[in-house]
Structure 1
Amino acid sequence: MNGEFDAVHVCVVGYGVVGTLHTRLLTGLGFRVSVVERNTAVWLPDGVRGWRTVEDVPADTVDVWLVCTPTEDHLRTLTRILALDPAARVLLEKPACRTAEIDRMQAVLAAHPRLRVAVMDQYRDSAVIARVRETLRTLAPGEPVRRIRVAFSKDRRLDVRRGRFVDRDHGVFGYEWHHMLAILGGLLPPARYGSYLARPVASGELRCLFDEQFVISAALEETWAGPVQVELFSTVVGDPAAAGTGVGAPAWTADFPLAHGGRQRLVRVESESAHVTAELEPVGQGPDGPLPRNVHRITARTPAGRVDRSHVTEFLMSDALRRLITLLRDGSVSTPDLRTLHRIALLSSHALHVGRLPHAVGPSTG
């Protein structure tokens, strides 16, 4: 730590799993951190002051508020902060709010022109996503991107049995899909990304698996962003293809090992003659051996058919916190992009009302 942030006060609202993680990362970066948490039984690290309510915090001492409450409390927490400081700088954990609250959130943002709000996003502007773009451009200069594929998998059933939340509004779309859309936005030109977000869901473009526990437990979207083919896949129950459901991980993902807990976070960009794939941390055992935390593997197939591997070391969460807090303090961001929430609402609504597949995934045995 070089003292860059030791005078910057970040107040973390909510000290659950995410709030605890962010508090640890922020203190490690050298920020001055306090926490708002109603549960007085929680233990706070040395040097971190605790408050019972937002109203207890001397707002004029806070540089940035970091809201880590449950999603259904985000908007309520934001309005309480604004009652103390109409020009607050606020970083919201994703998603910004529930989709049913989008209009209310937009009204609150419009009513507070001095407010600055960002939503936590560790992928869109990350170095590893930039490396994917740059590597393909170097391998196949002049060739346009033909297809972007993103696949995020994890078996969350054990987590749920341990008390983690279940998004019954959106199912699988409420977990990693926010990150997947952020990555897509980092790979597409803004106009093409906007065309994807505004595109209606056409017949046959979305296949989903339904589950009593998760509502929607897996989804595969195959669509277009202008001339670029887009493939997005996610599951919260491991590989659903094992149950013979017809909604399984795309075949190309089998070339990459799973990490602990069935985790797999893959990003692939393809041109006519080459493709580049990023395995985002945590990375499974590969030909280059086990990789330490915060190391991401890049696999490139060259136009000559050669396979090249490289690595990117990036502390995604810490770097994103540092970047977004700096942007908020500079006033470089104003309001969050809520189009991704509209997209997720559209996808989940389409899934629930069009072409349901049978319940086909049973309880985890792990």
Structure 2
Amino acid sequence: MTRTMLLRFGAALAGAALLGACQLETKSVQQTGFRGTGMDQVHLVSDKKKIGEVPAPPYDPPKPGGKPAREAYQNVQVLGDISEDEFSYTMAAITQWIAPEQGCNYCHNPANMASDEIYTKKVARRMLQMTRNINTSWTQHVKQTGVTCYTCHRGQAIPSENWALPAAGNPDTILGNKHGQNAPMVSTAYSSLPNTAFAKYLLNSDSSQIRVQSEYSHPSKLATTSTMETEGTYSLMMHTSTALGVNCAFCHNAGSFQAWNMSTPKRVGAWYGYRMVRDINGSYITPLASVFPKHRLGPMGDPLKVNCTTCHRGVNKPLGGVSMVKDYPALRPSGPLVTAAAAPAPAAAPTKMP
């Protein structure tokens, strides 16, 4: 083989390697903004996410009325306000959504259904409170579509999409402490960005503000946004984009990622969505650390928590926008709930990236 042929062969290999990282497939483009603004959503035709079948109700919904569940059964602490028939109907659906193979025994002692001896029953009770709170207090994000247990569980006792605090590295060695970076994983879209963005932004109501731009050009007490904070925010944005199967222009205008008056209405929904996730993780899941057995906890001893992917699974509307909660009124009660309050609506459109 001559030198010229070797060079051509090498160039061909290099070109193939470079193009291997490109997605050379048929794409579909959906315009989401004014023409010429680049506000488009680009999708691979072969990468359309399969929404999957939404399970039908276990049987025809019962008619309203009848003896309250709290009077018909013992130790009903959450769904006591619905009728006995509605209670049985809702329990049958929950079994189908979460433990179709284990059945009622996943949470209950069949010899004493009222007993709280199985930890999963205590967890399920708190998750029911959480679901009701989401459907009544977080309509700024879930709208009237609402959520059910199936939105996250999809027939599995443990939702397949979850996260826990990452194990701490050894601070005494350079190799042992990567500060959460340089370990590509799906949660950061396989980048080398920090893997601690969920803990920083999605854990509780006191989480850091999600912003990377400063209104001031020089470092000062008024301009505290750092490069490190930028990396964490970008890591979360990469996660959100992957979780919803969209690109940045779904919420932002590339002309100014910061300006709310140039953003799409979807950005407001995301603003509430982040705060809803904080409420879920901080108010409902984290306090269950003492209830879960050790094998259900993460490496730092915290319960498995939710993020955007837990519900969305690669589509911008979970389950393709199908509303299941309309068939389960017990999960969206009309009366007041004594639960964690949702974040108040902003008096005006926020002026900064949340």
Give TM class, smaller chain: under 0.3
Larger relative contact order (Cα-Cα within 8 Å, sequence gap ≥ 6): 2
> Which structure: larger Rg?
2
Instruction: Using structure 1 for the length normalisation, give the TM-score.
Output: 0.22
Higher strand share: 1
Under a length normalisation based on structure 2, what TM-score does the superposition of the two structures give?
Answer: 0.22
- Higher relative helix content: 2
